[in-house]
Chains A and B, each alone.
Chain A
Amino acid sequence: MVEERLILLRDKEIPDINNYDVYVKNGGFDALRKCVSDHSPADVIQIVIDSNLRGRGGAGFSTGRKWSFIPKDHPVKYVAVNADESEPGTFKDRQILENNPYQLLEGSLICAYSIQATAIYIYCRGEFWDLAHDLEACIEKLHKENLAGENILGSGWSCPIYVHLGAGAYICGEESAMLSSLQGLLGQPRVRPPFPTQVGGGLYYEPTVVNNVETLANVPWIINNGADAYLAIGTPESPGTKIFCMSGHIQNPGNYEVPLGTTIGDLIELAGGGQNGKKLKALLPSGASGPVLPLTDEVLNAPCTYEALASLGSTLGSASFIFMDEDTDMVWATHRMMEFFKHESCGKCTPCREGTHWLKALMDRVLAGDATESDVERLEVVSIQMAGKSLCALNDFAINPVLSTLKHFRSEYDAYLNGEGAKAASKKPVPAKA
């Protein structure tokens, strides 16, 4: 059986690592000190590029390259940490924030050092109220220890850290909407270019690195152990470990940190298999936003890497693995996801604003047993009308559940069309254990 490899979820091994002294005793802030004393900002960026660390917020973009886009001589630059964690089934950033916050802060500071940022903003989802306050206490400690704020470690570089709470919008996890929200504007994605790293595109229109919590939490380890050590974990294209948020009909739901490249089957085994021994039939590998996969042998044997999931026709995304067992009504589940996207579309783009409404309305019909064959066709027509025509990815996320369940679980739709829907509807997914 595969074993966990704990770079991020060190709280699983070291109790109380969310305590500053415990964190420091276990090598905490060595990496930041090393950067400030031994490495130039450019060196740090190069190490992260060499490690091939890829963004854990969903898109998997090279973290080091993103940092390298920041114009060197621009006077004002920011790091904005994306802690909006709103993807259904994602709860990894929360565990880091709750149990290993200093590692995130250290990673953020290293990033800030590498671009010589003037401030760090951490954008927490609104529900992380308590966490945000705990985080503020940690930040206060860092300011006291001269690890943040003025003239950090005597280097002459200053960088305060601020925490900001969102107001409960999924779209504010999208990086440009997050920046607008931070600025006090309506949380809607912006036109790109200019990208956040460019002048005019970032926070307050200054160049800004936006990274996910998990991404940044990797950085201290990479600095301490070197890019090669990191590359030795996982696969060359997808190196390092990844936290998989296992939920749904799985026996032992929770966060599991394993090297990328671990197969889906092994992950299921690690989490105890299907709940109550039931057979699992479907996987949502990136919450509601990626295409649903049927758990065929091909899928079970596939390694969890960015590339492999793409070649299966889905995405790794933030690796929120929601499992559905043989009793699950996939039509019901899809309807649920459409409710989510309709609710969360920011409304800026015509296809997304109207399309998510229509997908949900059509799913209402299907679920109510009122749908005809042509309504099911409409689901496809609307999805195609939307595809690729909006400003941000939410639009395309929204059509994934519909198109993928139509492809893999068409017979369940047919059951609704044939009036057998009610029977199927009684089989709802059991909520995951808390």
Chain B
Amino acid sequence: MSELVTIYIDGQPYEVPKGANLVDVAKFYADNGIPVFCYHPKMEPVGMCRMCLVELGTIMRDRDSGEVITGENGEPQVRWFPKLQTACTTTVTDGMVVRTNTDAVIEARDDMIEFLLTSHPLDCPICDKGGECPLQNLTMAHGPGRSVFYWEDKVRLAKHVPLGELIYLDRERCIQCARCTRFQDEIVGDDVLAFHERGRELQIITVSDPPFDTYFSGNTTDICPVGALTTADFRFEARPWELKDIASLDVYGPEGANISLSTRLDRDAGGIVIIKRVMPRQNEAVNEIWISDKTRFGHHHTRAAERLTKPKVRVGDRLVEAEWDHALEVIRKHIKPNVSVGAIAGPTLSNEDLWELRKLAQAVNAGAKLSIYPATMTGGDIIAQVGVGVGTNFKDMGSGTTIVVVASDIEEEAPIWYLRTKVAGDRGAKILVLNARETRLDHYAADSIRYDYGAAVSAVNDLAKHEAVTNAENLVLICGAEGMTLEQHGELMNACANLLVSTGHVGRPNNGLLAVWEGANVQGAFDVGFSTEATAEMMAKVPDLLFIAGCDPIGESAEAAGLSKAKFIVVNSLFDTPTTAVADVVLPSQSFAERDGTFTSGERRVQRFYPAQGVIGQSQTDWRIFASIRNGLNGSAVQRLTAGVFKELAGEIAAYEGLTYPALAVVERQFPDVGGDDLYYGGTAYQNNGGLGVQYPATSEAEGAKPSKFATKGKKTSYKGLTAIPVNRLYDRGYLFKYSDELMQQRIGEPFVVINPADAANIAGGSRVGVTIDGVQYEALAVVSEDAPKGFVLMPKRLTSQPGPFAPAAIETIEVIAEPVGA
């Protein structure tokens, strides 16, 4: 730990870390809540609101001897600043003396509150922040309770200013604290908000086109200390005191972002408890207090009108609704001993679901293929060996650490890792970006290394000589799979592991490998024994009996079309999809919001989520569905609780040994302390009451572990002719996000392809083109730009309603269907 110094707050001595911020220290060590508005422990202080004024001094010491100078009564002499000082801009030093309870300080707080309220509309009764508003709270705690000012002289400003589609600004309520602008500027790096004008006219504007253009906008509404910024999703929807916050997890990305689902009984939803909003839940090791807008606003699929409410059974060429018993009976009847079996697990199945799916498939046929969809990445076993060490935290990365991101547009694929990598870079960590094309993270990279698609492996091998790698104390590799086949990705993961092992960067915190898995629980699926290789094998040789759960392979991936050839297909789904269309039995499963379970993040942190929303129709948890089928086959027992399933799993899967639900639910006090019951960091939903989760160790962390050898063939692929490179977009029409509400739909955008100018001789940017691959034509808007390397066409996955390629694919033709509008 850092050096400790002694400071005195209201007469009491405290040992605190040298150089820490006085506001943070007073709160954490002295339980003294110096009131703040503009200060936020995640951002640089600006000293704007002047709410944190305190009396500040230092104990006087003799210049020569260094002895403390004492007065007549033997008390140390204190040299006080003549004026009150802002605590938020003060870092603690030895012998600092602070007074927070004198008349001068109390009066100053009164004064600031009174000034702020003279410009504030005081429309708390209709304000979304009311009930969890720092201004409201601090007014009650510190305000004078009266004002000498004239009410008529209040400001009158616009109250519904859309800053883009997601966020509304109420200009009257803004207290000019610059938290929102600093968040965008310092944390995200999209400085799309700014102050305009000056004095009492000082106001927030957005300076980007489209407005407020960022994936993180929702976070500004959490940190805004008043109701000036509200989300289009939640404004006027509920009062904070009616809401019950349930701990949950992001279902979209590999980062394992901790969230709270703020829930309430809702008349409009048929009287069930529903999610009214999604808030970040503080987990300093995972997402701190930030979530992406996809995580925040992408919860509407959980109660979309399209949700399946009853099982369906095939009758001829139609699927007809059936009772559960009947549906299960139909399945049992079709399961003949030792038929070939395949199980396809989507990325949002919980560990418990996966465990029961595995048990079911293996009960039918011990050689069942257990596979993961999407089958774009591999190497779960490699992560289990050389994944980042326990205790890894981006927050601890700074100078001395090198973070390498390879083959990933990480802002689109794992926005929280993007954000934390970027901030680690600001703290001095070296960022290396290896990709065939430029991505947003390149702005923050110490070095951007370009390779040709097909040559990622040798680019990683070459890193061994890179100065940022050879000089690194700590090295983290973040590996994606853009522009490669499953096999190529396997090679790349080996190359990454090899680099880490050969340079000694495994087996300890802030070192090791991270994979940008395409989904929330892909790591869990690997851990429970599923693999993407099995998927590939299955596509080549389709089994007779297929269980598909939590995904829509046939709707999304061109490569999955053959699966429909299976003799009998059981699909667990939230919605009717092209995959359910080929099923023989469709079983309605529950969304993450209706049930409990665990996900394992890309950092191998096993975390719990809890039931929050009322159950839709007759839907069931996936694990219970699988267990019921198994029970019907062989009469084996079914667990009563999800915890029981987890216990069984933890007894069988070595990596999970010793993990229990209570252990995953443990919460420790976190620094900075923003999730507590303080009056000024905004909202109680940050509070983590669901657990911090447990990161299980990689095998390379064991005492005396000898790192395995990872070899690559180092073979390059070169592409001839125009090649389509499927890329990931954060906002897409994937299985769950497709069922977002209107708000998110309008942000997804229409299908497009990016073509290098050299390859676009006859194609004007903005025209509609038809891209033909394997005899299938994909219609899209043509973007002509250097963002696509020459010879390659970037083709976002899951934007069209057609299943598209998930691996590089030769383009047969590109034809112009319509010239640009207005051309």
Contact = CB atoms under 8 A, between A and B. Distances in A.
A378 interface: yes
B149 A171 contact: no
A391 B48 contact: yes
Nearest to B117: A354
A381 B144 CA distance: 14
A164 B164 CA distance: 34
A386 B118 CA distance: 14
A391 B200 CA distance: 16
Contact of B49 (A350, A378, A385): A350
A17 to B, nearest CB: 38
B607 interface: no
A353 B47 CA distance: 14
Contacts of B50: 349-351, 389-391
Contact of B51 (A186, A343, A350, A357): A350
B476 to A, nearest CB: 28
Contacts of A378: 148-149
A230 B661 CA distance: 81
Interface residues of A, number: 32
Interface stretch (B108-116, B404-412, B667-675): B108-116
Interface centre among A346, A355, A358 (most CB of B within 10 A): A358
Interface string B37-71: 00000000111111101000000000000000000
Contact of B200 (A186, A342, A385, A388): A342
Nearest to B176: A347
Contacts of A344: 198-199
A191 B47 contact: yes
A76 interface: no
A388 B116 CA distance: 17
A309 interface: no
Nearest to A357: B200
B198 A388 contact: no
A179 to B, nearest CB: 15
Given A348-B176, A361-B153, A391-B48, A385 B115 contact: yes
Nearest to A170: B198
Contacts of B49: 349-350
Contacts of B112: 350-351, 389
B219 to A, nearest CB: 22
Interface string B184-208: 0000000000110111111000000
B176 A353 contact: yes
B198 A347 contact: yes
Given A358-B118, A361-B150, A186 B195 contact: yes
Q: Which of B83, B89, B198 has the most CB of A within 10 A?
A: B198
A82 interface: no
B6 interface: no
Nearest to B153: A361
A356 interface: yes
Kindly name the residue among A350, A358, A361 whose own CB sees the greatest number of chain B CB atoms within 10 A.
Answer: A350
Interface string B132-152: 000000000000000011100
B119 interface: yes
Nearest to A390: B50
A357 B199 contact: yes
A212 interface: no
Interface residues of B, number: 34
B108 A391 contact: no
A404 B89 CA distance: 32
Contacts of A346: 198-199, 202
Contact of B199 (A353, A361, A389): A353
B84 interface: yes
Contacts of B83: 388-389
A376 interface: no
A345 interface: yes
A52 B111 CA distance: 40
A353 to B, nearest CB: 6
A391 B199 contact: no
A391 B50 CA distance: 8
A156 to B, nearest CB: 31
Contacts of A353: 115, 119, 176, 199-200, 202
A169 interface: yes
Given A347-B176, A378-B148, A171 B198 contact: yes
B116 to A, nearest CB: 6
Interface string A402-429: 0000000000000000000000000000
A348 B45 CA distance: 13
Contact of B149 (A347, A358, A389): A358
Interface of A is mostly: helix
A347 B202 contact: yes
A354 B118 CA distance: 8
Interface in B83-142: 83-84, 86, 89, 108, 111-112, 114-116, 118-119
B111 A351 contact: yes
A355 B114 CA distance: 10
B96 to A, nearest CB: 14
Nearest to B149: A358
A378 B86 CA distance: 26
Contacts of B198: 169, 171, 187-188, 344-347
A66 to B, nearest CB: 21
Contacts of A169: 198
A354 B195 CA distance: 17
A12 B200 CA distance: 43
Interface string A174-199: 00000000000011100100000000
Nearest to A189: B47
Nearest to A361: B153
B116 A186 contact: no
A30 B518 CA distance: 72
A391 B194 CA distance: 20
A357 B153 CA distance: 9
Most chain B C-beta atoms within 10 Å of own C-beta, residue among A169, A186, A346, A353: A353
Interface in A324-382: 342-351, 353-358, 361, 378, 381-382
Nearest to B51: A350
A382 to B, nearest CB: 8
B199 A356 contact: yes
Nearest to A345: B199
A187 B197 CA distance: 10
B314 to A, nearest CB: 65
Contacts of B46: 191, 348
Contacts of B119: 353-354, 357
A389 B148 contact: no
B89 A343 contact: no
A385 B48 contact: no
B116 A342 contact: no
Interface string A378-400: 10011001101111000000000
A354 B199 CA distance: 8
Interface string A196-228: 000000000000000000000000000000000
Contacts of B195: 186, 188, 347
A330 to B, nearest CB: 24
A389 B89 contact: no
Contacts of A188: 195, 198
A361 B86 CA distance: 28
Contacts of B199: 342-347, 353, 356-357
Contact of A186 (B86, B115, B175, B194): B194
Contacts of A358: 118, 149, 153
A434 to B, nearest CB: 29
29 contacts: A171-B198, A186-B194, A187-B198, A188-B198, A191-B45, A342-B199, A342-B200, A344-B198, A346-B202, A347-B176, A347-B198, A347-B202, A350-B49, A350-B115, A350-B116, A353-B199, A353-B200, A353-B202, A354-B116, A354-B119, A356-B200, A357-B118, A357-B199, A357-B200, A361-B150, A378-B148, A389-B83, A390-B50, A391-B48
Given A357-B153, A381-B148, A382-B148, 12 more contacts: A191-B47, A342-B199, A345-B200, A346-B199, A347-B202, A348-B48, A349-B50, A350-B115, A378-B148, A385-B114, A388-B84, A389-B83
